[in-house]
C-alpha cells in the first residue's frame, strides 16, 4: 500500500499571510462553539497565489481548540487521499487540498471551494419535508452521489465488522450507563446480521448528512467536511448516516407533543421520534427511507434485508463518536429503545 504524501510543510507560512495579503478579499462563512470549533473563511487571494490551484476563492479552516486542530489534521489527510484517488468524474464535487498554514502553532487547512447551496437550506424551508416529491428528490440526490462515489473507490472485499467495532466503542464511552446493556443487545443483533457478509471497502465521508451536501440545479455539486472520513471503510456508514439524520430533524419545526404536519401518526415526542417513525412505522416517509436503505445496501452487493442491522450499527456509531455528550447519549437511549428487528418482520425473525 502506497503511503500518503505528508501534507504539511516543515515551516508553513502563517494564516495571516493569506488572510491579509495585499489585494486579498474574504468573508467569515461559519463558526461554532463545539468542542472542535473552527472558523471557516472563504478568501479570494491575490492572483498567482496557487500556481496549480484555482484563480478564484479558496476555503480556510482555522481551529479554535486543540480538538479542532486534530479534526483539521484528519480532514487534511482525507483530502490528500481524495486528491490522489480516481473519483470517476466526481472530483469537482470534493474540495481539493491546497496548503496547510500555521495558526498560532495549530494547523489551518486551505482547500478549493465547491459550489452549491447546502441541502439543509431547502430542508428547513416551509413544508419542504411535508411534500413526498421534494423529499424523494433529496434521497435520490444523496443516494445517487453516494453510489457513484462508492463504485469509484471500491477496493478489496472484507468481512463486515462495523457493528462489532461500534459495540466496543459504545461500551468504552458509556461504561456504567443504565441503558448500555440494552444498546449492546441491539448492536449484538446487528453484528449477527452483518458479520457473515463481505463487502468492498470504500472511501467513507463519515458525516454524510444533508448539511454537508451542496446542491445546485438538481444535482449534488459539493460534499464538504471530511474530518470523519476514512480512505477505506464500510460503505454502509454513509448510507445509514444520511437516512438517520434526515429523519432526526423531521419534527424540528413542530411544537413538543403536537402531530408533525404531513406525516400521519408522527408526533414530536422526545428525542428521535422521526427516526423511530422512519425505520418502523407506515407512511410515505418510512417507505422512502426503507427504499433508500435497501437500494443502497443492494448497490454494494449485499442482501437488501440487511438495512435494519445497518441502521442499528449507524445509531451505535453516533452514540460512540458524536463530540457532544448529550447528543451522543440521546442516540444511545434511542438505540436501546428500538426492537432487535423491524416491526414489519421483513427479516424473517422475531419482532422483539
d(CA 167, CA 175): 11
- Write down the CATH number for the domain with range 117-337: 3.90.1200.10
Q: Which three cell numbers, joined as nine digits, stand for 302?
A: 449485499
d(CA 222, CA 153): 17
Q: Is the pLDDT of residue 49 over 90?
A: no
Q: What percent of the chain has pLDDT over 70?
A: 91
pLDDT at 294: 98
pLDDT at 52: 65
pLDDT at 344: 57
Summary mean pLDDT of the chain? 91
pLDDT tens-digit map of 216-253 = 999 999 999 999 999 999 999 999 999 999 999 999 99
Domain ranges of the chain: 15-112, 117-337
- Please report which confidence band the pLDDT of residue 24 belongs to, taking 50, 70 and 90 as the band edges: confident
- Please report which confidence band the pLDDT of residue 27 belongs to, taking 50, 70 and 90 as the band edges: confident
d(CA 330, CA 183): 12
pLDDT tens-digit map of 51-65 = 666 667 899 999 988
* 0.85 exceeded by pTM: yes
- Write down the CATH number for the domain with range 15-112: 3.30.200.20
Q: Which of 206, 165, 213 is nearest to 316 (CA)?
A: 165
- Interior CA angle at 278 toward 351 and 181, to 5°? 50
CB-based contact 327:249 (threshold 8 Å): no
pLDDT tens-digit map of 175-200 = 999 999 999 999 999 999 999 999 99
* Sequence-separated (6 or more) residues with CB below 8 Å from residue 341: 189, 308, 347, 349, 350, 351, 352
Determine the length of the chain.
352
Amino acid at each position: 500500500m502506497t503511503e500518503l504524501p505528508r501534507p504539511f510543510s516543515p515551516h508553513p507560512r502563517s494564516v495571516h499571510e493569506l488572510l491579509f495579503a495585499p489585494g486579498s478579499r474574504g468573508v467569515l462563512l461559519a463558526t461554532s462553539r463545539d468542542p472542535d470549533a473552527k472558523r471557516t473563511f472563504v478568501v479570494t487571494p491575490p492572483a498567482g497565489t496557487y500556481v496549480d490551484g484555482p484563480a478564484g476563492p479558496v476555503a480556510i479552516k482555522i481551529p479554535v481548540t486543540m480538538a479542532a486542530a486534530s479534526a483539521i489534521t484528519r480532514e487534511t489527510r482525507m483530502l490528500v487521499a481524495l486528491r490522489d484517488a480516481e473519483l470517476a468524474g466526481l472530483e469537482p464535487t470534493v474540495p481539493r487540498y491546497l496548503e496547510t498554514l500555521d495558526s498560532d502553532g495549530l494547523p489551518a487547512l486551505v482547500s478549493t471551494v465547491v459550489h452549491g447551496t447546502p441541502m439543509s437550506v431547502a430542508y428547513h424551508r416551509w413544508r419542504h419535508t411535508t411534500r413526498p416529491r421534494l423529499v424523494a428528490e433529496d434521497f435520490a440526490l444523496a443516494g445517487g452521489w453516494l453510489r457513484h462515489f462508492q463504485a469509484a473507490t471500491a477496493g478489496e472485499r472484507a468481512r463486515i465488522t462495523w457493528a462489532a467495532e461500534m459495540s466496543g466503542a459504545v461500551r468504552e464511552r458509556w461504561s456504567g450507563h443504565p441503558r448500555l446493556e440494552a444498546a449492546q443487545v441491539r448492536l449484538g443483533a446487528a453484528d449477527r446480521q452483518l458479520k457473515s457478509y463481505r463487502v468492498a471497502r470504500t472511501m467513507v465521508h463519515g458525516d454524510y448528512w444533508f448539511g454537508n451536501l451542496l446542491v445546485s440545479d438538481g444535482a449534488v455539486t459539493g460534499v464538504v467536511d471530511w474530518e470523519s472520513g476514512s480512505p477505506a471503510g464500510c460503505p454502509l456508514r454513509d448510507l445509514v448516516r444520511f437516512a438517520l439524520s434526515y429523519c432526526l430533524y423531521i419534527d424540528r419545526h413542530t411544537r413538543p407533543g403536537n402531530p408533525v404536519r404531513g406525516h400521519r401518526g408522527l408526533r414530536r415526542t422526545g428525542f428521535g421520534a422521526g427516526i423511530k417513525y422512519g425505520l418502523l412505522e407506515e407512511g410515505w416517509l418510512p417507505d422512502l427511507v426503507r427504499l433508500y436503505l435497501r437500494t443502497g445496501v443492494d448497490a454494494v452487493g449485499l442482501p437488501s434485508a440487511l438495512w435494519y442491522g445497518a441502521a442499528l450499527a449507524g445509531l451505535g456509531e453516533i452514540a460512540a463518536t458524536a463530540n457532544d455528550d448529550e447528543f451522543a447519549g440521546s442516540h444511545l437511549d434511542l438505540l436501546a429503545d428500538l426492537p432487535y428487528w423491524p416491526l414489519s418482520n421483513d427479516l424473517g425473525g422475531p419482532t422483539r
